[in-house]
Chain A
Amino acid sequence: MDEAAIEELELSDAESFEEVQLTAAQVIEMMEEAWVNEKFAPEILPHKMEVVDCLLGQIAYMEENLQSLPSTDFKKSIHQLEVDRLRFLVSSYLRTRLEKIETYVTHILKQEQQRHESKEDLYLSKQELKFAKEIAEALKQNFDGLVSFYPGLPLEEWVSQPVQPNMHSFVFLKSKKDVNEVVIDDGSIATEGESDLVDFREGAQILIAYSSVAGLLKKGDVKLI
């Protein structure tokens, strides 16, 4: 397995920040959770490229081993299928992210810029950011060409109203631990102390507006299902 990639993995809940050796099964589990979360969350989530790189390393390692097995070995086909399934997992995760990046590109780049300015971690990986900038540029060029027939047209609308994810859409989630007093976002602007609260018990399954739980999801207290 790729040693370097594992060392980059620091689990936030590991108390002394000591680097944790993850088993292959744990990596796969983390990837699966990231994949499902990304699939069902309306907005793009902070990237999990360390998990992706780790799993890709694992896949490469497994494939190498498979090469050495004779093609008549029954075990080979079982392992090959496993490798294929893992590759699907990673590909599907990255594809989902690309779809979001492309759909909400203007919005996402704006947010990344804000995160950059306030020194927060970016949500996109370096490669994704490069890709996002390229396609934003390509879109801009296409539009520029379109409206170049007359200078100074009122174009502020498409810039000020970029395509955005609907943060109020509903998601199914499972709570990974007890969380108290989650504020329910019912779409109205409630003043403090007036909004409804709900407690999640560990293992509870809930249907709720994404905006109410976006923070919890990014912290890893809940996962989408």
Chain B
Amino acid sequence: MPLPSSYSPNYFSIDDILATQERTPCKFLLNVPKMGQLNPSAAERDLKAGTSLELPLWLVIEMSAGRQPIITPELPKVFRESYREILKADACAVDLHKYSLHFYEVGSYVKHFDRRGDVHEILLHTFKTRYRQLMDLADNSVSDPSVQHSLDTLEKRIFVASHSARTKLNSWLIKSGSPLEAAELVVNHKKRKRVDVDDMK
């Protein structure tokens, strides 16, 4: 009986933490003493201004903000023009999972690095275009897990939620009753026990 929750990441969100671990290229504007270790291709003590590095988003966001930014971020490859063109042409045909595990979350962070708003637009476009296909998949795929492979994490969550809603509706329409069930964690617990036992054989 989980709460129906819409997408809203918080301080403890696992997905948000995983998304902010993704890296994006950026350039140092200032020298940063003693941080040479962050650059694996140089063996200097200090990190020199002008160095280009790929850094995780959580660091990029902190370091590029404020009155005196230390770095300027660039867009990750999949949000640059050539990739955006592909998405514009046919977003449904793209294996978004390959683009980025957290395409939309990363996108909503890096869109601030792009002042012209192209990233913003492509995010909306991609989601809108793919959403129809996503609903279609959720309604119709019986149990073929391969359809999920080209979805990013957010899409996968929507898919799982709507697929299970569809399954529940179907079973309600057919039987008009829902059986009492063992609790989810209890079932998991038993399954794992079974695996443990199998391992010992």
Contacts and interface: CB of A to CB of B under 8 A. Distances in A.
Q: Do chains A and B touch in the complex (CB under 8 A)?
A: yes
B4 A40 contact: yes
B195 to A, nearest CB: 30
Contact of B3 (A92, A103, A164, A168): A103
Contacts of B3: 96, 99-100, 103
Contacts, number: 34
17 contacts: A39-B4, A42-B6, A96-B3, A99-B1, A103-B3, A158-B11, A162-B10, A163-B10, A163-B11, A163-B12, A164-B8, A166-B5, A166-B6, A166-B7, A169-B6, A169-B8, A170-B6
A13 interface: no
B8 A166 contact: yes
B153 to A, nearest CB: 18
A140 interface: no
Contacts of B10: 161-164
Interface residues of B, number: 11
A contact residues, range: 20 to 34
Contacts of A163: 10-12
A40 B12 CA distance: 23
Nearest to A100: B3
A40 B5 CA distance: 10
A103 B4 CA distance: 12
Interface string A166-180: 101110000000000
A144 interface: no
Contacts of B8: 164-166, 169
B75 to A, nearest CB: 24
Nearest to A159: B11
Contacts of A100: 3
Interface in A61-118: 92, 95-96, 99-100, 103
B69 to A, nearest CB: 20
Contact of B11 (A96, A161, A166): A161
A157 interface: yes
Nearest to A157: B11
